[in-house]
Amino acid sequence: MSNKSLAALIVGVVVALVAWNSFYIVQQTEKAVLLRFGKVVEGDVQPGLHVKIPLVDKVRTFDARLLTLDTATARFLTLEKKAVMVDAFAKWRVANAEQFYTATSGLKQIADERLARRLEAGLRDQFGKRTLHEVVSGERDALMAEITASMDRMARRELGIEVLDVRVKAIDLPREVNRSVFERMSTEREREAREHRAKGRELAEGIRADADRQRRVLLAEAYREAEETRGQGDARAAAIYAQAYSQDPEFYAFHRSLQAMRDSFNDKSDVLVLDPSSDFFRYMQKSKP
């Protein structure tokens, strides 16, 4: 190969490399800044194919998708000075590529560290203004909304980041107080159980006493009605007997005498020693010829 051919080949390769390094592509999922000698000359490069000056311009791209900041569990105090362990996370994305690069050098690690400090400060402030009941259930949504709005204003102003959401995943008591809290809750539940059992026994005694009273009243009324009915029956029977026997008193006396004899000699072992002239044998004596 001649010197001219070699020189032409080298020039061609250099031109190809220069041409190759003169173009760059920004994806739809990216944000980019164009640097010239380390200084930002274009702060928000749009997605697509672009031209740059080789060896002079440099392109820094950042992930423009939704990113997650997952913080470590931290300890905070509520309004009544009760300690809680809070596990939270935040969703964010790059809003201003130039400001993000200037504040963090385009490093997600630095952005996460700064957001984590802001998130911890926001949580400490919000938990310190609320009671344990409010942060657990009563005002939990309001707490997260206020932290999200506060962090978003700070992140846009200082980091070029948009904070879309902050969520509290879990709120737990510290391990050293879990046992005491459990024992206190157990004692409280036992006290409530004793109160309920005492009220139940009192109510049961009242129900039994009322049932016994009603039973005695019903039995007394039934006995009274039975006695009245029995008395009315006896009176009616006596009236019928009196009416029947008044028609022939002598026959009634004779019938009563036979009934007395039948009752007296009902058992074969019965023995009576009587005077034959007594009234008991009055009708027997008259029957003699």
The ranges assigned to domains in the chain are: 3-63, 67-172, 250-286
| Residue-wise DSSP of 76-107 | EE-TT--EEEEEEEEEEEES-HHHHHHHHTT-
What is the pLDDT at residue 288?
Answer: 46
Distance between CA 23 and CA 51 in Å, rounded?
5
Structure tokens at 193: 């159980």
Estimate to the nearest angstrom the gap between the alpha carbon of 142 and the chain centroid: 21
What is the pLDDT at residue 162?
Answer: 93
> What is the fold, at CATH topology level, of the domain defined by 67-172?
Tetrahydropterin Synthase; Chain A (3.30.479)
Q: 272: how many CB neighbours lie within 10 A of its CB?
A: 8
Helices (H), the chain: 3-20, 97-104, 108-128, 132-133, 140-158, 175-245, 249-264, 282-286
Burial 88-101 (b: 16+ CB within 10 A, else e): bebebbbbbbbbbb
Q: Which among 130, 147, 126 has a CA at the least distance from the CA of 138?
A: 130
Distance between CA 98 and CA 104 in Å, rounded?
10
**What pTM was estimated for this model as a whole?**
0.54
Distance between CA 151 and CA 111 in Å, rounded?
13
What is the pLDDT at residue 54?
Answer: 80
Full pLDDT tens readout for the chain, 289 residues: 566 666 666 666 655 566 567 788 888 888 888 888 888 888 888 888 888 888 788 888 888 899 999 888 888 888 888 888 888 999 999 999 888 988 988 888 999 999 999 899 888 988 888 887 887 776 778 888 888 998 899 999 989 999 999 988 888 877 766 666 677 778 888 889 999 999 999 999 999 999 999 999 999 999 999 999 999 998 888 888 777 777 777 777 777 777 776 766 666 666 666 666 666 566 666 544 4
Furthest-apart CA atoms within the chain: distance in Å: 191
What is the pLDDT at residue 126?
Answer: 86
